[in-house]
């Protein structure tokens, strides 16, 4: 316990995979397996991430994001909830006057969530006071009120904010509690009315008709658990918001160029500008009335929405998504197009130069870890282009300093291809001699106390990046922090080399531990059992003391480059720990599951 337990936990956490939105992660932590999932923006609420019902029965799911109870928080204004949805959608100025900071905050947050998954892009203050820095700006009557939602409790605001076009008063001035705000006040109001009568003060006329089906559902389920009522309300506004956004998403998709029109010889294309009038014309055939039961002036609602900050924020965000998508598609086209002498012969030299510079620019901007595979593909494409053009054009291309810098870190076998183009200084034998990928594995100085760790080197014999233990001092430059960096620097593809794809079949001992093998990974028979081994079932089996005393060995990669989680027994911590196994070799202290490890070494 104590420091050792913290160190063991840190070791486990260090082995956790990187978090990815939408992916279910299995995270071991000192004998406990945690399942965690980071939600995606496209997730639908109340949707289970598990497909197996038996899994649901055996786990406790904890929500990592606080969800407001919309029904409980807005029940006081349930009669106005569809109108409030429109106000939030359009980003209208709104004041919520409540009896307490907590009540104001919960109501404001619940109002904001009505339009989910559409993000609210205006400012909102769940609890606004006279001490806020924007107090003068938000209470000024010299111009129209700003598009902001304010939650207030101070009676001072009943007069200061009475010029706001929409005010929801839910607090009872006499009792200080939440009061039914079911009434609507459309005539001019003053501070005295606001101070005494709960309700919605607004002259806004809804574009959509009141959805009676929602109130029928709530009425029929009035005796149900409040969670059921909240689920009905959330589902209703999720569906109506999605129905509202689908025509916008469909029209935005039509602005993107088709993949067949994207060429590696051209720049990354852009989507056509959003034309409001053109979009409004599409509503006749593709409007929300086709997927939503709510009727009304949808076109009028869209016309107002297109002038709001919510639309501007949504469009800006989606155009960024579209730009990333187009860049990804363009990158795929760059990586997949077949560049040969025949295909390039019909291209003008200017186009080829532009193509090479495009590939260079994409390689420079790519992340060497997360985009290592694509980067390797671009390296190969660059090599194909340079070896498919005439010597004069090659010399011209390699005279570019930026391209030379890119070529300087291309793999050794790509250098050998480029050596055929002529006597350029960059491609002399000295450059090959300095290629770090050809250096032998060097684990560093044995007497180093700097605290090294797991590193990777490129094995020229197998053509695969392999893990090794680095002491922390000395060594050579054929050493990379992770496999992705090693592959990006030294591999042009997933070369198989002479390394086997997976470990040879080795018979296991009755205890479940694998039996002894010789230097060639061949099974040892009982006549050749080494010390601390006994003959069992015709094979040499290691003793428990030997197995559990060994430090873990990550092994080597096979040519399929796969790795798997395994467990080893740590004498330092007295417990079984997780480590990454690369599929080949290693030692006996290697168990497929935590329970197998505990059963063998701790029983």
Average pLDDT over residues 159-171: 87
pLDDT at 435: 64
Q: Are residues 42 and 84 in the same domain?
A: no
In whole angstroms, give the CA distance from residue 363 to residue 356: 11
Q: Are residues 76 and 171 in the same domain?
A: yes
Average pLDDT over residues 13-32: 81
Average pLDDT over residues 591-602: 88
Q: Which of 112-121, 263-272, 433-442, 452-461 has the lowest mean pLDDT?
A: 433-442
Q: Are residues 184 and 103 in the same domain?
A: yes
Q: Are residues 429 and 445 in the same domain?
A: no
pLDDT at 372: 75
pLDDT at 557: 67
Highest mean pLDDT among 67-76, 85-94, 230-239: 85-94
Asked if residue 303 has pLDDT above 90, the reply is: yes
Helix H or strand E encompassing 237? helix 226-254
Q: Are residues 280 and 376 in the same domain?
A: no
Residues 532-559 pLDDT 10s: 899 998 889 999 999 999 988 877 766 5
**Does the residue 495 lie in any domain?**
no
Highest mean pLDDT among 126-130, 172-176, 215-219: 126-130
**Does the residue 401 lie in any domain?**
yes
For residue 415, what are the contacts with CB-CB under 8 A and spacing of at least 6? 427, 431, 432, 435
pLDDT tier at 105 (50, 70, 90 boundaries)?
A: very high
Task: Report the mean per-residue pLDDT for the chain.
Answer: 78
What sign for the dihedral angle of Cα 369, 370, 375, 377? positive
Average pLDDT over residues 261-267: 88
Cis (ω within 30 of 0) for the bond into 324?
Answer: no
| CATH number where 469 lies | 4.10.410.10
Q: Are residues 311 and 359 in the same domain?
A: no
Q: Are residues 159 and 76 in the same domain?
A: yes
The neighbouring-strand residues paired with 565 are: 580
Asked if residue 597 has pLDDT above 80, the reply is: yes
Cα–Cα–Cα angle for 131, 157, 108, rounded to 5 degrees: 80
Q: Are residues 268 and 386 in the same domain?
A: no
Q: What percent of the chain has pLDDT over 70?
A: 79
pLDDT tier at 399 (50, 70, 90 boundaries)?
A: low
Average pLDDT over residues 413-433: 36
pLDDT tier at 364 (50, 70, 90 boundaries)?
A: confident
Q: Are residues 409 and 459 in the same domain?
A: no
For the chain, percent helix, then strand, then coil, each to nearest 5?
A: 45, 15, 45
């993949």: which residue's tokens? 259
In whole angstroms, give the CA distance from residue 339 to residue 384: 6
pLDDT at 368: 67
For residue 114, what are the contacts with CB-CB under 8 A and spacing of at least 6? 70, 81, 84, 85, 88, 237, 241
| CATH number where 176 lies | 3.40.50
Asked if residue 485 has pLDDT above 50, the reply is: yes
Asked if residue 192 has pLDDT above 90, the reply is: no
Asked if residue 503 has pLDDT above 60, the reply is: no
Q: Which of 60-74, 207-221, 330-344 has the lowest mean pLDDT?
A: 60-74
Q: How many CB atoms lie within 10 A of CB 440?
A: 9
Average pLDDT over residues 439-465: 78
Asked if residue 152 has pLDDT above 70, the reply is: yes
**Does the residue 9 lie in any domain?**
yes
**Domains in the chain, number:** 6
pLDDT at 125: 93
**Does the residue 519 lie in any domain?**
no
**Does the residue 96 lie in any domain?**
yes
Average pLDDT over residues 175-196: 58
Asked if residue 414 has pLDDT above 70, the reply is: no
Residues 204-223 pLDDT 10s: 898 988 888 887 887 777 67
Asked if residue 476 has pLDDT above 80, the reply is: yes
**Does the residue 34 lie in any domain?**
yes
**Does the residue 504 lie in any domain?**
no
Give the DSSP letter of residue 259.
Answer: G
Range of the domain at 422: 338-434
Average pLDDT over residues 240-260: 91
Asked if residue 306 has pLDDT above 70, the reply is: yes
Q: Which of 109-113, 306-310, 459-463, 471-475 has the lowest mean pLDDT?
A: 459-463
Largest pairwise CA distance in the chain: 103
Q: Residue 452 in 3-state DSSP?
A: coil
Average pLDDT over residues 260-280: 90
pLDDT tier at 423 (50, 70, 90 boundaries)?
A: very low
pLDDT at 38: 78
Q: Are residues 429 and 450 in the same domain?
A: no
Asked if residue 489 has pLDDT above 80, the reply is: no
pLDDT tier at 43 (50, 70, 90 boundaries)?
A: low
Single residue among 266, 301, 327 that ends a domain in this structure: 327
């Amino acid at each position: 316990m104590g420091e050792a337990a913290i160190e063991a936990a840190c070791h486990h956490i260090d082995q956790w995979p990187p978090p990815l939105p939408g992916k279910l992660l299995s995270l071991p932590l000192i004998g406990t397996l945690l399942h965690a999932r980071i939600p995606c923006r496209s997730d639908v609420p109340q949707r289970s991430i598990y497909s197996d019902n038996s899994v649901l029965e055996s786990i406790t799911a904890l929500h990592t994001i606080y969800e407001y109870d919309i029904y409980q928080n807005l029940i006081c204004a349930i009669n106005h909830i569809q109108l409030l949805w429109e106000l939030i959608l359009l980003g209208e100025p709104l004041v919520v006057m409540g009896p307490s900071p907590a009540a104001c905050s919960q109501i404001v947050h619940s109002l904001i969530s009505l339009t989910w998954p559409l993000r609210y892009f205006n400012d909102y203050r769940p609890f606004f006071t006279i001490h806020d820095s924007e107090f003068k700006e938000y209470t000024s009557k010299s111009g129209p009120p700003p598009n902001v939602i304010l939650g207030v409790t101070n009676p001072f605001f009943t007069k200061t904010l009475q010029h706001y076009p929409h005010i929801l008063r839910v607090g009872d001035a006499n009792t200080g509690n939440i009061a039914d705000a079911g009434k609507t006040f459309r005539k001019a109001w003053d501070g005295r009315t606001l101070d005494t009568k709960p309700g919605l003060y607004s002259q806004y006329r809804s574009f959509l008709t009141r959805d009676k089906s929602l109130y029928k559902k709530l009425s029929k389920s009035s005796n149900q658990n409040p969670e059921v009522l909240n689920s009905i309300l959330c589902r209703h506004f999720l569906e109506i918001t999605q129905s509202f956004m689908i025509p916008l998403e469909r029209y935005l998709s039509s602005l993107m160029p088709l993949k067949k029109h994207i060429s590696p010889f051209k720049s990354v294309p852009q989507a056509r500008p959003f034309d409001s009038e053109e979009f409004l014309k599409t509503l006749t055939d593709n409007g929300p009335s086709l997927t939503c039961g709510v009727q009304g002036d949808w076109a009028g609602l869209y016309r107002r929405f297109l002038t709001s900050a919510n639309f501007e924020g949504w469009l800006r965000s989606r155009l960024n998504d579209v730009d990333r998508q187009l860049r990804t598609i363009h990158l795929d086209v760059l990586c997949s197009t077949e560049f040969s002498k025949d295909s390039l012969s019909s291209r003008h030299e200017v186009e080829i130069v532009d193509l090479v510079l495009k590939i260079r620019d994409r390689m420079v901007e790519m992340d060497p870890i997360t985009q290592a595979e694509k980067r390797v593909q671009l390296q190969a494409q660059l090599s194909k282009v340079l070896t498919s053009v005439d010597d004069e054009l090659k010399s011209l291309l390699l005279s570019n300093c930026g391209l030379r810098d890119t070529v300087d870190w291309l793999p050794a076998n790509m250098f050998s291809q480029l050596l055929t183009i002529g006597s350029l200084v960059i491609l002399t034998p000295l450059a090959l001699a300095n290629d770090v990928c050809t250096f032998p594995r060097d684990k560093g100085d044995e007497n180093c106390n700097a605290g090294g760790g797991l590193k990777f080197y490129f094995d020229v014999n197998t053509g695969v990046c392999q893990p090794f233990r680095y002491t922390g001092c000395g060594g050579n430059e054929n050493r990379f922090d992770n496999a992705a960096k090693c592959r990006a620097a030294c591999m042009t593809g997933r070369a198989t080399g002479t390394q086997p794809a997976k470990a040879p079949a080795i018979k296991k001992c009755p205890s479940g531990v694998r039996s002894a093998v010789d230097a060639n990974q061949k099974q040892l028979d009982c006549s050749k059992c080494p010390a601390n081994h006994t003959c069992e079932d015709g094979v040499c089996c290691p003793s428990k003391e030997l197995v559990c005393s060994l430090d873990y060995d990550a092994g080597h990669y096979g040519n399929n480059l796969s790795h798997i989680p395994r467990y080893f027994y740590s004498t330092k911590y007295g417990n079984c720990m997780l480590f990454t196994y690369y599929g080949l070799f290693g030692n006996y202290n290697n168990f497929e599951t935590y329970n197998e490890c505990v059963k063998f070494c701790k029983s």
